[in-house]
Amino acid sequence: AQSVTQLGSHVSVSEGALVLLRCNYSSSVPPYLFWYVQYPNQGLQLLLKYTTGATLVKGINGFEAEFKKSETSFHLTKPSAHMSDAAEYFCAVSDQVKNDMRFGAGTRLTVKP
Amino acid sequence: EPEVTQTPSHQVTQMGQEVILRCVPISNHLYFYWYRQILGQKVEFLVSFYNNEISEKSEIFDDQFSVERPDGSNFTLKIRSTKLEDSAMYFCASHREVDQPQHFGDGTRLSIL
């Protein structure tokens, strides 16, 4: 079965600092990988996705993630944090075989002024 | 941009009562999903629906749950006899192809008293 592990339930960075949110996945078939962001009392908004092709994917709001098959990782990064980036971030995995996307436990990002 | 819409935004129900949560997926989408998020916890997959039938369901989706697409636009989740532990945020999602990201609604907060 597919699964996702997000290391660190809470990450705190200073404004302007690098953001790194870690995600490792487990899948028996080639995965589709996603990062979603959730602001308080809102639904999930897609940041970026990897299905096939280029392993470095760029998303909205300056975020990017790199699919590393050898490390089964899909870490999310942003060079310079902004106050508006404070939110909950979820990594998710699905595949072309089963329609059951599995989410990680989430990482709450706090940005300090 | 088309959106997934969910109604109501908040539903309060007595334990043991039936509840129906409603979703209108994006009109040309073919795959439909329900997820739940218990307060402070991760997003959990409940069920996926394609071609008028359930394609995948999780261990959470027991006999108390059912889904239906009664017409060409609505996608509903019914909980037959609600329990206190059904209190959660329920998200509907849809997409047109499995390698495309799922679009999420803003959720229905279900409170069981």
Distance CA B44, CA B32 (A): 15
pLDDT at A42: 82
Confidence label for A27 from pLDDT (cuts 50, 70 and 90): confident
Residues A49, B91: C-beta atoms closer than 8 Å: no
Cβ atoms of A102 and A93 closer than 8 Å:
yes
The per-residue pLDDT for range A61-91, each reduced to its tens digit, is 999 999 999 999 999 999 999 999 999 999 9
pLDDT at B112: 96
pLDDT at A17: 97
The per-residue pLDDT for range B44-100, each reduced to its tens digit, is 999 999 999 999 999 999 999 999 998 878 999 999 999 999 999 999 999 998 888
Instruction: Say how many CB pairs under 8 Å bridge A and B.
Output: 55
The long-range contacts involving B51-56, CB below 8 angstroms and separated by at least 24 positions, are B55/A99, B55/B31, B56/A98, B56/A99, B56/A100
What are the counts of helices (DSSP H) followed by strands (DSSP E) for chain B? 0, 11
pLDDT at A99: 73
Confidence label for B15 from pLDDT (cuts 50, 70 and 90): very high
Residue of B35, B38, B43 to mutate for A, most A C-beta atoms under 10 A: B43
